[in-house]
Structure 1
Amino acid sequence: MALFSLGINHRTAPLSVREQVAFHPEEVNRALSDLADSARVFEAAILSTCNRTEIYCQADSPHQVLEWLAAYRRLPLAEAQPYFYTHRGKDAVRHAFRVASGLDSMVLGEPQILGQMKEAMRFAREAGALGTTLHKLFQNSFAVAKDVRSTTAIGTNIVSMAAAAVRLAERIFERISEQRVLFIGAGEMIDLCATHFAAQKPKQIVVANRTIDRGRALADRFEATAIRLEDLGERLAEFDIVVSCTASQLPIIGLGLVERAIRARRHRPMFMVDLAVPRDIEVEVGELDDVFLYTVDDLAQVVESGLESRQSAVVDAEAIIEAQVENFLGWLQTRETVPVIRSLRDAAERMRRHELDHALKLLARGENAENVLEQLSHRLTNKFLHAPTQALSQSDGDRSELQAMVTRLFHLHPDGRSAD
């Protein structure tokens, strides 16, 4: 059994592949239970964001986990496997620390991933899949991320996805203040986008959400209005800018819906940003002449601005991570000796109880107490030393390594005398 992390991200796979293996929060619990039933996995956590889906686990084989994921998502394993990476042991720990610190993100140093990792840990705990090792791994990841952000410049001059969406919109429309903006969804990403767009004081802001109360709660913060998601078909043509990020498994804005909206708008351009994985807006919508459709991958070039000032901080961040990786591995190695220590103590306890029972029986028969104690000490000493003495006597080949280990374990001098 070993510690693994395996997954897929924006560097290894296009959006069309990533969206096929994405997990939404409401299905993570079920997926973790199914994983535990289908493969020899002892601990597991699933991290799924717009840019990555990763499984952190204690397992016998990462291939079994990959096989499970392909089967669970009904993907041919041969087609999916080239897009996946696998990290084991030290590399898995380093990867987790880099992810938490924002070093593996599309937007270098972005802070949202830390909250997403905390969510992954919470889901794993609720599913009963979070054991001691993964709990320690995640907690250390959070501590490393905090250290990196507080001691390096990795988080400075960040252009977030939300800010990038505003910059792209400004390329299409001369003034956002003259446009009507529709946000579809009410999650964290929509919240961030609404904050950035609201700062440009658009003519109108509307939030469409499946749950009207949650949509209204977000809308109230920006003096906006809320509508139900089912009203989208009637209202879409009103908006110049549409930003969508929901947890829907299927697209909620189809080609036909947008075509009707464009005709109603008399072919005035519409700017659309789809931040959802899987996508909320059908791919074919981007082929329409009057629609400018962008996905999370399309925003990559915009978020590159400001990268140079953060790149120099990567070296310092990597040094912090490397030191903490070694600390975690030291803890992990200590954990691996626990079963051996427990077995050794159990064996010694059985010997002690056996000899104590023998001594008590002798005392009960009236034997001399001093002789019984002397006999007890000799019998215990012989039993405790029998196994190491036998190992030294029967050792084949070079005994120097075993002798050195016994000398160290029993604090002996090189000449065989006790160190005490």
Structure 2
Amino acid sequence: MAVWALGINHTTAPLDLRGRFAFAVDQIPPTLQGLRQALGQGSPHHRVESAIISTCNRTEIYCAGDHAALDHTLGWLAQSGGVSTDVLRAHSYTLEDGPVARHAFRVASGLDSMVLGEPQILGQMKDAVRAADSAGALGSTLNQLFQRSFAVAKEVRTSTEIGAHSISMAAAAVRLASQLFEDLSQTRVLFVGAGEMIELTATHFAARMPKAIAIANRTLERGEKLATRFGGEVLRLSELPDRLHEFDIVVSCTASSLPIVGLGAVERALKKRRHRPMFMVDLAVPRDIEPEVKQLEDVYLYTVDDLASVVQTAQASRQAAVEQAEAIIDAGVQSFLHWMDQRDPQHGVVPLIQQLQGQSDAWRATELARARRRIARGEDIESVLEALSRGVAKKMLHGTLAELRNADGAARAQTAHTASRLFLRSQGKKTL
């Protein structure tokens, strides 16, 4: 069984290119179906397992199958994003077998994030695994890979201080806003979207007790739920152009494939504000706010990539925690590779174990059926049980005893050594 992965992230690809490969959670099941169909056409990859992790900082495809198909996977992803394979190859990374496990474990543990040690990625990975499972695309190999990723991430977080000094995107946004506005309690804040990132960011801003909070969302019911929590009002997205000027701070993070806040709308808002400054944060991939907005004089617009310099702090104090985390990950990788080796039909022991269990079950069933027939005829229970135990033992030892009787020389000595080690182990322990 081969395992491979292909991905782009905040270190390999610019924001706009990442936006071409962003998948909302509800898009993942049909996307996985398309990937598996593409890999299965005229190739030996029809049994491929697959999962897609898509966040604002990364899109990664994980696959497992009889044979690695990195080129096919790269070609499919390039086509889905509308770029050439050469462009995607220049901004992506590909991994096979052990390095796949190491990468997945590092991602789950927050070591590969823009915010070192951030916990959100673990939840996003779990969502991706659930989506793959519900789509029928997750087999035993990828399931093991991800479950072990989650276990390693838990150990990293409980055994190290990897997240103790991290600054989340939400906290970074509040910090930047505080540099522009002396008193955040005098500001009006608008959040566009109602997902997990907006909820987290709204929590951080609400702690500063702003003058007003508003939630604009495509689905009013979800927006109302979040607005009620923070004592704010809810807006329809269609109201944004007319009410944008009311807000000093705008934070947006939706799953829209097109910008929601355009240059013209911001220009009109600034005019109504008499050019009082606006602080804007676009956490979405693809972008929610047109990039040209950043060129306006009285707007301070930050994207997820712009926040990188803010969140990459206290590196030295975290280095010891990183080293501890990497050691935990190394052990996890070795354990996963050992599991993979055991399942290899050419070199592993799992197929042999399955055959031995099947054979022993067949012997047991035969003797049990014979015992039941004797009981039905009214024979003594004790004699039936005695015959049952002798029959099972005889079948279990038949092959070994035959080898010992018929083998010669070195073969007999080797068989005797193996038989002694396998069958006399408990007796040997008593003697010791």
Q: TM-score scaled to structure 2, two decimals? A: 0.80
* d(CA) in 2 for partners of 1:349, 1:318: 43
Deviations 1:200-254 (A, max 9, x none): 1111110000111110100111111111111111111111100000010111111
SS at match of 1:243: strand
Query: Who is 1:396 aligned against?
Result: none
Count of equivalent residues: 377
Deviates more, 1:120-129 or 1:82-91: 82-91
Query: Who is 2:4 aligned against?
Result: 4
Q: Which of 54, 57, 76 does residue 51 from structure 1 map onto?
A: 57
* d(CA) in 1 for partners of 2:146, 2:81: 26
SS at match of 2:270: helix
- 1:19-418 counterparts in 2 under 5 A? 19-39=19-39, 40=45, 42-59=48-65, 60-61=67-68, 62-336=70-344, 337=348, 338-339=350-351, 407=414, 411=418
Q: CA deviation at 1:305?
A: 2.3
Q: CA deviation at 1:105?
A: 0.6
Q: CA deviation at 1:311?
A: 2.1
Query: Who is 1:371 aligned against?
Result: none
* d(CA) in 1 for partners of 2:416, 2:311: 57
Deviates more, 1:307-316 or 1:320-329: 307-316
Q: CA deviation at 1:410?
A: 8.3
| Distance change in 2, residues 1:194/1:346 (3 Å) | closer
The answer to whether residue 15 in structure 2 is matched with residue 15 in structure 1 is yes
Deviations 1:109-166 (A, max 9, x none): 0000110010011000000001111111111111111111111110102210000001
Q: CA deviation at 1:408?
A: 8.1
Unaligned runs of 5+ in 2: 40-44, 363-394
* d(CA) in 2 for partners of 1:185, 1:262: 22
Q: What percent identity do the matched residue pairs reach?
A: 56
SS at match of 1:411: helix
* d(CA) in 2 for partners of 1:175, 1:346: 73
Deviations 1:229-288 (A, max 9, x none): 111111111111000000101111111111111111111111100000011001111111
Q: CA deviation at 1:411?
A: 2.2
Deviations 1:22-56 (A, max 9, x none): 11111100000001100026111100111110011
Amino acid at match of 2:6: L
* d(CA) in 2 for partners of 1:47, 1:409: 53
Unaligned runs of 5+ in 1: 351-376, 390-399, 414-418
| Distance change in 2, residues 1:342/1:261 (3 Å) | same
Amino acid at match of 1:305: T
Aligned partners of 1:107 and 1:160 also within 8 Å: yes
Aligned partners of 1:209 and 1:228 also within 8 Å: yes
SS at match of 1:75: coil
* d(CA) in 2 for partners of 1:242, 1:180: 9
Amino acid at match of 1:72: S
* d(CA) in 1 for partners of 2:195, 2:35: 27
Q: CA deviation at 1:348?
A: 11
Q: CA deviation at 1:407?
A: 4.8
* d(CA) in 1 for partners of 2:318, 2:84: 39
Q: CA deviation at 1:325?
A: 1.0
Amino acid at match of 1:236: L
Deviations 1:336-364 (A, max 9, x none): 233466579889999xxxxxxxxxxxxxx
Please, what is the CA RMSD of the aligned residues? 3.0
Aligned partners of 1:159 and 1:306 also within 8 Å: no
Q: CA deviation at 1:332?
A: 1.3
Amino acid at match of 1:119: D
Deviations 1:6-25 (A, max 9, x none): 10111111112111111111
Q: TM-score scaled to structure 1, two decimals? A: 0.83
SS at match of 1:325: helix
Deviations 1:347-398 (A, max 9, x none): 9999xxxxxxxxxxxxxxxxxxxxxxxxxx9xx979x98xxx9xxxxxxxxx
Q: CA deviation at 1:173?
A: 1.4
SS at match of 2:153: helix
| Distance change in 2, residues 1:202/1:274 (3 Å) | same
